[in-house]
Amino acid sequence: MWPAPRWLLPRFVQKARAETLDCPLYDAKGQLVAVTAGTFSLLDSAGEAVVDAAAVIVTSGVATYALGSTFADDHDLPQDPWRERWVLDGKTYEREVHVCRVAPVAHLDTEALFRMHPQWRRQLPASRSSYAEPIEDAWVEMIGRLLGDNLLPQRVLNWWALTVVHKYWAASMICRDFATDNPGDSRWERNAETYWKRSQDELEQRTRIQADANEDGVSDTPGELDAAEPQLFLTNLPSTSWWPGRDW
């Protein structure tokens, strides 16, 4: 089972942008495991190799590959998921890759959380080695939820609209953490439930997005916004995508 990478989400890579990809490996205790050599491959949605078993560069025990800006020049957007393959010291690791016009990024930082509760400036650094952790963890869960609902984040133009969801999602995690450290203080548990409910209400009832299914940078329905949550079908699930009129 180990060593293994910490891959909680697919990778999002932006067409026409060069970047260095990496694949750190960890043991069961979460300690970095140094690799000595390996190869990297990038396969398109048809399984054809865009990068075919290229040698990786190992820096401080971590395998890296410099992906050039022209890697997707022969492919038009939108693309179905691609796949990356790392073969490191004889063991193979594969990950889903989304090639997109603009890769999604978080629009939330710790200052937004501190503005909710100024005392967290003192409490968060005292309780965590990095107070960016709850933001990162909430981001992973939120993106995973959206992908599970068949809403691809790279096909949303007004990505900022999900920042409120992200903020209260992260705040609920912080309060649950404090509730664990202070089991006799019920306010943390109450706050955790309040913030969790707010994050889900924002996502399911209030958030409206500008869809860009073909990733051309133009809204599919200019001047109109769509709900971020899929429709709830109690029976007879439709065979097409849940997003009416769109193939996400």
Q: What is the pLDDT of residues 196-246, one digit of tens each?
A: 999 999 999 999 999 999 999 999 999 889 887 654 322 333 333 333 334
Residue 103 has pLDDT above 80, yes or no: yes
What size, in residues, is the chain?
248
Pairing label, strands 91-100, 82-88: antiparallel
> What single-letter DSSP state applies at residue 162?
G
3-state secondary structure at position 80: coil
Q: Domain limits of the chain? A: 11-100, 110-227
Which CATH number is 11-100 given?
A: 2.60.40.1930
95 pLDDT higher than 60: yes
Handedness of CA 148, 151, 155, 161 (dihedral sign): negative
At 135-190, the pLDDT tens digits run 999 999 999 999 999 999 999 999 999 999 999 999 999 999 988 877 776 889 99
pTM to 2 decimals?
0.87
Contacts by 241-246 with C-beta closer than 8 Å and gap 24+?
241/150, 242/149, 242/150, 243/150, 243/151, 243/211, 243/213, 246/211, 246/213, 246/220
Tell me how far apart the alpha carbons of residues 63 and 119 are, in angstroms, rounded to a whole number: 40
